Structure 1
């Protein structure tokens, strides 16, 4: 369909309040006017946004990390990722920081792979996923891990193997699933040169 795109829109809201606010995220409760004129309650997570990095080396292997995620009671394979927890920070800089902290790695080339809302029915979290290539070891003092990161595992997995595991239902992290299939599609369509530059506009989280 020519011109197909998501469009910003906001329905009428009343009785909005925030019953819980944590350190970085909270819960918002609002009454939203439906098309028939009735009002319906909508409860959702308010979130600062996130960035993630699909780092791929010259052997077409993707850097993946395994981390315990308590809400789903699973240790999931994921991509390096983190919150946009510095007000006004350029998302590229946040992604570079996450790649350094979680993998002690840097990249010479950055592109936007895909932007998406992680769970738009229950959260306003927007995520920008970067493709990082021309990889090398980082410089300087390593980041001191804490919390769940103390048991972080890392591996380099061929992209084609990740595709097979995603389609077999063995991998469930939405960012890893999205990034794997997006990169596979980009390569099948002629390569990554057509991807957006790393500083492409991001209306969901302007910077």
Structure 2
């Protein structure tokens, strides 16, 4: 394994919220220069691609940080201690889309923005969907709408730049690759 380019000399916590921690890291490079980086610690997340064999379910909801409604795949934080990502994916699919997947397949995992956060996202293809009563967990989810798109509609919307959420874009491309 290569020697790290930057060595952490120390760090301190700047802030902590319900699920995020902001840390300031003091680093030294191989030439003896030091620098500071702020890092957002995140518990991780899942994204679910609910596929019924002909269409994919997306959630259209208001996102405060973005300042508008976005069309996204169901997703959620790994916020229950000890809960495996696969179980979180199932729970989020039920809560947000009202769909209980009979089969979940991990199709991709990725950092969401490694320049400043350690958030790592697991993306699951959900199949053999069974409709159940949705269990929205918050104001945004209560006002969310489910939108079904065929693979060709999703592909056209990807090409047109309709989707602005990175993990939704990755998830939909993973779905299209799976279907080919």
Alpha-carbon distance in 2 for matches of 1:53, 1:42: 32
The runs of 5 or more residues in structure 2 that have no matched partner are: none
C-alpha RMSD over aligned residues: 1.9
SS at match of 1:170: coil
Partner of 2:140: 148
Q: Which stretches in structure 1 are left out of the alignment for 5+ residues?
A: 1-6, 189-207
Structure 1 position 106 matched with structure 2 position 100: yes
* More strand per residue: 2
State TM-score, norm by structure 1.
0.80
C-alpha distance in structure 2 between counterparts of 1:164 and 1:144, whole Å = 29
What secondary structure sits across from 1:135 in the alignment?
strand
Alpha-carbon separation, structure 2, partners of 1:161 and 1:30:
44
In the TM superposition, structure 1's runs of 4+ consecutive aligned residues that sit over 6 Å from their partners are none
Kindly indicate whether residue 141 of structure 2 is the aligned counterpart of residue 167 of structure 1. Answer: no
For the pair 1:132 / 2:126, whether they are aligned, the reply is: yes
Number of aligned pairs? 179
CA distance in 1, matches of 2:52, 2:19: 33
The answer to whether the 8 A contact 2:96-2:136 is kept is no
Does the 8 Å CA contact 1:166/1:172 hold for their aligned counterparts?
Answer: no
Does residue 149 of structure 2 align to residue 157 of structure 1?
yes
Task: With the length of structure 2 as denominator, give the TM-score of the two structures.
Answer: 0.92
